[in-house]
A and B are shown apart, each in its own frame.
Chain A
Amino acid sequence: AQKVTQAQTEISVVEKEDVTLDCVYETRDTTYYLFWYKQPPSGELVFLIRRNSFDEQNEISGRYSWNFQKSTSSFNFTITASQVVDSAVYFCALSEDTGRRALTFGSGTRLQVQP
């Protein structure tokens, strides 16, 4: 069965620090999709990125970057020069290509960025 682990329950940093959120996943499928979502205090889930299992290229989008490593089953998320607006709960999620096509979520990491 698929599983996503976000071992960091809560992280607190000071503005302008870099921070990495860890995500480790388990799946038996060779084809799967990994996602990151942001949930600000307002509660809605904001899509950040999707990666399929055949694309291990790292991605950068502004201050955000993602490191996908199949060898360690990890899909880590780094925020460079964090800002107060980055304060939120971040979820990593996985969906497999076979079987049910629902997202399996990690338990989330709460990021607090202090001014």
Chain B
Amino acid sequence: DVKVTQSSRYLVKRTGEKVFLECVQDMDHENMFWYRQDPGLGLRLIYFSYDVKMKEKGDIPEGYSVSREKKERFSLILESASTNQTSMYLCASSDPDRYRTNYGYTFGSGTRLTVV
């Protein structure tokens, strides 16, 4: 069963802390994504990556950075956590070949981060 695994389901951090959210996929996908989900706003794209060591800003990158040193792992970093970064964070991966019959995006279970 193909999977995207996020290291923590729930996380509580203090304001100003550096926070790492980890995501690992076992499907050998080249594309990986980080979203945050807030009520009434749906899922918004923070960062994405098409390959190892490559990263692109999404719609709301401010206050975040990412790291992709290995194909299977995509990390989201909150350099100095703030209370407005309290949210649900979802990682996803996809195969770039859109002509595959099973083309799609696979999501992790999410990390609910609370910054106090």
Which residues of A are interface residues toward B (Cβ below 8 A)?
6, 9, 33, 35, 37, 43-45, 47, 50, 52, 91, 93, 95, 97, 100-108
**Least CB distance, A6 to chain B, in whole angstroms:** 8
Residues of B within 8 A of A101 (CB): 31, 50, 94, 96
For the complex formed, measure the closest distance between the CB of A40 and the CB atoms of chain B, giving whole angstroms: 12
Are B88's CB and A43's CB within 8 A?
yes
Q: Are A107 and B56 in contact (CB under 8 A)?
A: no
Contacts of B104 in A (CB 8 A): 35, 47, 50
Q: Do B107 and A102 have beta carbons less than 8 Å apart?
A: no
Q: Which of B35, B41, B50, B107 has the most CB of A within 10 A?
A: B107
Question: With A and B bound together, what is the CA distance between A35 and B92 in angstroms?
Answer: 14
Main secondary structure of the interface of A (DSSP, over half): loop
Interface residues of B in 58-116 (CB under 8 A from A): 58, 88, 90, 92, 94, 96, 98, 103-107, 109-110, 112
A93 contacts across to B, CB distance below 8 A: 43
Q: In the complex where A50-B103, A102-B33 touch, is A9 in contact with B98 (Cβ < 8 A)?
A: no
Name 22 interchain pairs, CB-CB below 8 A, sorted by A.
A6-B42, A9-B40, A33-B98, A43-B88, A43-B109, A43-B110, A44-B109, A45-B107, A50-B104, A91-B43, A100-B56, A100-B58, A102-B33, A102-B45, A102-B48, A102-B58, A103-B43, A105-B35, A105-B42, A105-B43, A107-B41, A108-B42
Q: Provide the bound-state CA to CA distance between A97 and B98, in Å.
A: 8
Give the contacting residue for B105; candidates A6, A9, A35; CB below 8 A: A35
Q: Which 3 A-B pairs have the closest CB atoms?
A: A107-B42, A45-B107, A105-B42
B110 touches which one: A33, A44, A91 (CB < 8 A)?
A44
| Contact indicator B110/A103 (Cβ below 8 Å) | no
Give the distance to chain B from A82, nearest Cβ to Cβ, in Å: 22
Shortest beta-carbon distance, A31 to chain B, in Å?
9
- With A35-B105, A103-B92 known, 5 other A-B pairs at CB within 8 A are A9-B40, A35-B104, A43-B112, A91-B42, A101-B31
